[in-house]
C-alpha cells in the first residue's frame, strides 16, 4: 500500500471531495470548498482582536461611502 493510499484512509474528507482523485485535484477542490465556506476569511478576521468600536466605525464608514456613491450616481443621471 502506497503512502498516498494510507493518507486517503487516514484523512476523512467531506462528501463533496471524491477520494479517487489524485492529490493535486483533491487539494484544489478542498481549497475551493474552504474558500466557498469562508473559513479562511473568518480565520483572518479572528487572527487579531478588534474592538467593537473599531468594527462600528468601519461599518459606519462603509455606509457613508455607499451614500456618497449613490448621490453621485443620481447627480450623473
DSSP secondary-structure letter at 69? H
What pLDDT digit, counting tens, does each position of 14-46 carry? 556 666 668 888 888 888 888 888 888 888 888
Residues of the chain with pLDDT > 90, as a percent, come to 32
d(Cα 9, Cα 15) in Å, to the nearest integer?
A: 14
Which H helix or E strand runs over 71? helix 52-76
C-alpha distances (whole Å) from 26 to each of 13, 20, 34, 46 are 9, 9, 12, 27
Amino acid at each position: 500500500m502506497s503512502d498516498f493510499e494510507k493518507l486517503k484512509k487516514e484523512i476523512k474528507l467531506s462528501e463533496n471531495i471524491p477520494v479517487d482523485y489524485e492529490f493535486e485535484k483533491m487539494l484544489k477542490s478542498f481549497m475551493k470548498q474552504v474558500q466557498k465556506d469562508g473559513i479562511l476569511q473568518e480565520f483572518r478576521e479572528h487572527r487579531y482582536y478588534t474592538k467593537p468600536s473599531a468594527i462600528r466605525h468601519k461599518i459606519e464608514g462603509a455606509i457613508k461611502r455607499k451614500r456618497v456613491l449613490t448621490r453621485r450616481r443620481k447627480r450623473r443621471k
